[in-house]
Amino acid sequence: MKFFVDTAEVEQIAELNALGMVDGVTTNPSLIVKSGRDIISVTREICSIVSGPVSAEVTATEAEAMIAEGRKLGEIADNIAVKVPLTWDGLKACKSLRDAGFMVNVTLCFSANQALLAAKAGASFISPFVGRLDDINLDGMALIEDIRIIFDNYGFQTEILAASIRTVNHVLDCARIGADVMTAPPAVIRSLANHPLTDKGLAAFLADIEKTGQKIL
């Protein structure tokens, strides 16, 4: 499963990328606002750091305007994936941009039927929002599983990009189900390394070696 990092904070992206933990990046207007930077300049810098897809989201809501914005975003770098919402206009924009050779990430997916439409429109990625479904007492992972079954049934090439990932259990479940990609904030990716027994074991090892008075260097 590929790891995308869900942030517009360049330093955090660079740190994780240096460890080989970044296969791509997802951004959105809310994350750009948090970064405090201009959408074009920060997106260009992210693309210079990461070789994989970098999702940059349109802000328009009508198809023709989305297409125009998508073309402008796509000019930033070859690894831009234009991000459009899963609306009828968004699907129109997806088809047009894909026909023009751009990668497209269709976002804000909350049903398997929506995912099917995105795949039919040629989406490079479909982004079902796991955490937001959990927030309203629906099973976000059940959606990932439904989409996986449907895409496998018919050989769709659209990659399942599990989004709104908030916990390490979300990551594990996505990997078990077979999501192609998961995107998560840097803190969630870092927390995958945490386990209390690792901490306990390390503390015991350090205590024992200290008793010997030995050092390697």
- CATH 3.20.20.70 assigned to domain 2-212? The reply is yes
Least confident window among 22-36, 58-72, 77-91, 172-186: 22-36
Helix, strand or coil, per DSSP, at residue 171: helix
**Residue 53 CB partners (closer than 8 Å, separation 6+):** 4, 24, 25, 79, 80, 81, 103, 105, 124, 125
Scanning the chain, the segments in alpha helix (DSSP H) are 10-18, 29-35, 39-49, 63-74, 88-99, 112-120, 130-135, 140-154, 168-177, 186-191, 196-212
The residue written with tokens 């390394």 in the block is: 193
pLDDT confidence bin for 29, thresholds 50/70/90: confident
Tell me the pLDDT tens digit for each residue of 177-215: 999 999 999 999 999 999 999 999 999 999 988 899 998
Assess contact for 106 and 90: CB atoms under 8 A. Answer: yes
Catalytic residue among 2, 34, 72, 83: 83
Domain chopping of the chain, boundaries: 2-212
- Catalytic site residue 83? yes
pLDDT confidence bin for 114, thresholds 50/70/90: very high
pLDDT confidence bin for 33, thresholds 50/70/90: confident
